[in-house]
Amino acid sequence: MVWKKVAEKDAVVPGKGREFVIDGKKIAIFNQNGFHALDSVCVHQDGSLAPGKLDGDIVECPLHFWHYNIKTGELLDYIKGVKLQTYKIEVKKDGIYLDV
């Protein structure tokens, strides 16, 4: 477990997501009822989930509208048992930290 500062505290505005490349991995951080982090690459055709529309804990991939739970990484459409990796996230005084 390695906590790493990935962004300034205000880098992700409420109700939105943003993609960061951390150690070569594309990770989406969402500021929606708290902060959540998960792999940002959709398993369908590699769309980025970060700019996806949010509805509660659900993000919609902007390309073809597949849905994922941003807390668990679970894909909610079409294929059972698919989960994107999620990461522990902590917002400290000096920024946003991920356990990567």
CA dihedral 91, 24, 28, 99 (to 10 degrees): -30
CB of 33 to ligand FES, least distance (A): 22
CB of 97 closer than 8 Å to CB of 5: yes
Please choose, out of 9-17, 60-68, 80-88, 89-97, the segment that lies near ligand FES by the rule CB under 6 A. Answer: 60-68
Size of the site for ligand FES (CB under 6 A): 8
Contact 52, 67 (CB under 8 A): no
Minimal distance, residue 80 CB to ligand FES, in Å: 16
Residues that bind ligand FES (CB under 6 A): 42, 44-45, 47, 61, 63-64, 66
